[in-house]
């Protein structure tokens, strides 16, 4: 399963609220608590960078084989015919790899954020951003 940053960040904040209460009850000052929190946040950011840039081999195989979860590319192709008025645009779009079309669909239709798409597809967020821009150029 891909790394879900929003979920991990929420868990980090909840754990920190609990730690902060314990630190205050034990008599620590605000300065001491802020130093500890800064250290923990830096550790969290380093972990986040690691997980966002790595993927399991099983996830890599599913991407290269073109297997996707619950939305098939056939459904996506039906969606494109509904929104594209030009046959030329449709032909150019169908030349784009299906995973790029899926990322664009998730962004525009499902309203997902780029980091969520990146997490679900196990592809760097910068790549997702680039793909969305390329497809937007085709649809102009």
The model's pLDDT over 51-94, given as tens digits with 9 standing for 90+, comes to 655 554 444 444 444 444 444 454 555 566 666 767 788 788 88
The model's pLDDT over 20-29, given as tens digits with 9 standing for 90+, comes to 999 999 999 9
In 3-state terms the chain splits into helix, strand, coil percentages (rounded to 5) of 75, 0, 25
Average pLDDT value for residue range 114-137: 90
Q: Do 89 and 138 form a contact (C-beta atoms < 8 A)? A: yes
Q: Do 112 and 93 form a contact (C-beta atoms < 8 A)? A: no
The model's pLDDT over 94-123, given as tens digits with 9 standing for 90+, comes to 888 888 888 888 888 778 899 999 988 889
């Amino acid at each position: 399963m891909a790394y879900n940053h929003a979920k991990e960040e929420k868990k980090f904040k909840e754990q920190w609220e609990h730690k902060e209460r314990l630190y205050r009850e034990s008599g620590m000052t605000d300065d001491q608590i802020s130093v500890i929190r800064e250290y923990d946040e830096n550790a969290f950011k380093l972990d986040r960078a690691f997980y966002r840039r790595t993927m399991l081999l099983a996830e890599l195989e599913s991407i290269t084989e073109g297997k996707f979860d619950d939305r098939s590319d056939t459904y996506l192709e039906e969606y494109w015919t509904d929104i594209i008025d030009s046959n030329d645009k449709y032909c150019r779009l169908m030349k784009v790899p299906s995973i790029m079309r899926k990322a664009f669909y998730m962004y525009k239709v499902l309203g997902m954020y780029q980091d969520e798409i990146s997490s679900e597809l196990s592809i760097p967020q910068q790549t997702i951003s680039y793909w969305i821009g390329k497809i937007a150029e085709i649809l102009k």
